[in-house]
Structure 1
């Protein structure tokens, strides 16, 4: 065994010597390679290209100005109406114009920096945080040099374009905020919906009333109040009144005594508005009876009072008490017993 091991030991020793010689050959430090050779851009050597780049930047700032003006026009001329089509048109007009206002400034700033501003790489040694007077004066000189390199002082049209675009862009935020001053801040309206005693449950969006006999175990219905479109501001009212209704085996229901009569033969109805931030919950899993909010994954147990079993929601979904009328149609016994949706200052729970 010793004769077989000897060559391995000598080999290891020879290898170690080779490594030592390699380490000795390495320099104590690497030389700084310095900055790569500066390559001039087309705008640096061609006055026509320089002027063309300036016009392009001005055009982008002008696009931003057009977007801001378009946003103001859309805000006042195309308010969201009572129909889905009018709301869609208003949102599209506001969204596109806001995109142009913000994109124009961003694209112009990037193009300006890449084509017109100085692109020389500079190095500066690290110094104590507070420099002496001479160093501070040198820094100011560097800033003045950078301003000179940017050409902002001698490019009058460009200067006017950037000032106009940057000055007008905040109007896309300020005008809607100012428009809300004096608006309807009555949050108590969230305490009540269109549901009332005797109001039939109808399919969303057809508005067809629902018979209890048509709701099979495991089925899910998206529900709105009957004759919803006859109400004033029906879109806003729908946003508060939407309900998700399911039917399960009555033996699977865990109902507290005070809510024993709120369901009908295994059919339960709960607000569709998540109690976290108000997203619509609509993903129902039949085997577990769990209802999932797609926004932040809050999960509610429909068989146990829609209690939260997972996620950031802090309260169960409000339950709509239901029964049937003489014709077998599902109807509401009353409105929700608590405000729907997320928390707000005035609500008690």
Structure 2
């Protein structure tokens, strides 16, 4: 009987371990999000929240040195890509000559699009300093340089923010020109 009890206990432990493995696998899938939930080439950008939510993002609506804008990608059928929190996009506009040479192909007239998810622990980037030209995460105070491809200016984050290449559409609207330069989401702590 002791043998049966040990076996039952072993199965319970195994079940727990298999459950933990399954949870991790599901958690990682949810973390990454389905690829079709992320912005895709050809999507147009619309304002993500506030009084102007859903309106197309235009160059005219993004003055140099203006506010940080949260945006959402919308596919050709008009469906917002909101199936993953990693689809969140932030837009800033700097003077075109301030954009690093390596990032100019991804920008449109000084407008840069980056993942809104901090690479430290996944908080939403919500700060923008006109003076320092840095994005900031208020959770742990990481700072990023969008004009330098989302490079980390101040940790604890160690990975740069993924950049979303942009193109200019009809009437100065902003379009997605390709996928994020890296998978968005938190990196190593």
Q: TM-score range by the shorter chain?
A: 0.7 to 0.9
Aligned to 2:129: 285
Deviation at 1:282, TM superposition (A): 1.1
More helix by share: 1
What CA distance in whole angstroms lies between the structure 2 residues aligned with 1:297 and 1:207?
A: 30
Equivalent in 300, 319, 324 of residue 168 of structure 2: 324
Q: Distance in 2 between matches of 1:182 and 1:250?
A: 43
Residues 183, 266 of structure 1: CA spacing in aligned structure 2 closer, same or farther, 3 A cutoff? closer
TM-score normalized with structure 2 length: 0.75
Q: Match of 1:19?
A: none
Greater Rg over alpha carbons, structure: 1
Write the mapping of 1:215-294 to structure 2, written as runs, cut at 5 A: 215-219=62-66, 220-226=68-74, 230=79, 234=82, 236-237=83-84, 239-256=85-102, 259-294=103-138
Moved over 2 A (4+): 180-194, 226-232
Between the aligned partners of 2:54 and 2:140, the Cα distance in structure 1 is 30
* Contiguous gaps of at least 5 residues in structure 2: 1-15
1:224 partner SS: strand
CA contact (8 A) 1:191 1:338 kept: no
Quote the Cα distance in structure 2 between the aligned partners of 1:231 and 1:200.
Answer: 10
Structure 2 residue corresponding to 1:184, chosen from 12, 26, 47: 26
1:299-338 Cα shifts (integer Å, max 9, x gaps):
1112222211112101110000001113321000011021
Please give the alpha-carbon distance, in whole angstroms, between the structure 1 residues aligned to 2:108 and 2:70: 17
Q: Which fold has the larger relative contact order, with Cα–Cα distance below 8 Å and residues 6 or more apart in sequence?
A: 2
TM-score under structure 1 normalisation? 0.42
> How many angstroms apart in 1 are the aligned matches of 2:185 and 2:100?
23
Cα RMSD for the two superposed structures:
2.8
Question: Judging changes above 3 Å, is the alpha-carbon distance between structure 1 residues 266 and 231 closer, same or farther for their aligned structure 2 residues?
Answer: closer
Residue in structure 1 matching 2:61, options 207, 214, 237: 214
Q: Which runs of 5+ in 1 are unaligned?
A: 1-173, 345-349
Q: In the aligned structure 2, how far is the partner of 1:314 from the partner of 1:182?
A: 23
With over 3 angstroms needed to count, the CA separation of the structure-2 counterparts of 1:297 and 1:229, relative to structure 1, is: farther
Equivalent residue pairs, number: 163
Matches of 2:24 and 2:116 in 1, distance apart? 30
SS of equivalent residue, structure 1 residue 327: helix
- CA pair 185-303 structure 1, distance change in 2 beyond 3 A: closer
Q: 2:39 aligns with which of 195, 201, 208?
A: 195
